[in-house]
Amino acid sequence: MEIDKVPAWFLALEQEDAAFLKNFVVKSGSLKEIARLYGVSYPTVRLRLDRLIQKIELSDHQEEEPFPAFIKGLAVDSRIDLETAKLIIEKYQKVRKP
C-alpha cells in the first residue's frame, strides 16, 4: 500500500498500539490469546482494546483545533476523566466563539 493511501487513524497510532493491533489480527481477535501473549488478564486486554478503539475514533473525528484534540487525548489516556474533558472543551468553545 502506498503511504498516501494509509488511513490517517493508522498513521496516528503509537508503535506499541500498532503492534497490539497486529497481534490482535494475528490471533484472530481472541482477547484470551492476546492476554496470554502479553501475560496480563482478560480485563486488562479488554481495557487496552477499548482505549485503542477510542484513539482510532478520536483520530477519525479529530477536530481542526489542536486544543480540544489534546484534551480528548488526555481523556482517552485516562489522565483526566471524561466529564472533566467535556467541561474543559465546552468552556474553551464558549470562550473561542466571538
Tell me which residue of 86, 33, 31 sits closest to 53, measured CA to CA: 31
Alpha helices in the chain (DSSP H): 8-11, 15-26, 31-38, 42-60, 66-76, 82-96
Q: What mean pLDDT value characterizes the chain?
A: 84
pLDDT-based confidence at 7, cuts 50/70/90? confident
Q: Domains in the chain, please, with CATH? A: 1-62 (1.10.10), 64-98 (no CATH)
Q: What is the pLDDT of residues 47-83, one digit of tens each?
A: 999 999 988 887 766 655 778 778 877 877 788 887 8
pLDDT-based confidence at 28, cuts 50/70/90? very high
Place of cell 486488562: 44
Contact 44, 35 (CB under 8 A): yes
pLDDT at 1 over 70: no
Identify the pLDDT of residue 27. Answer: 96
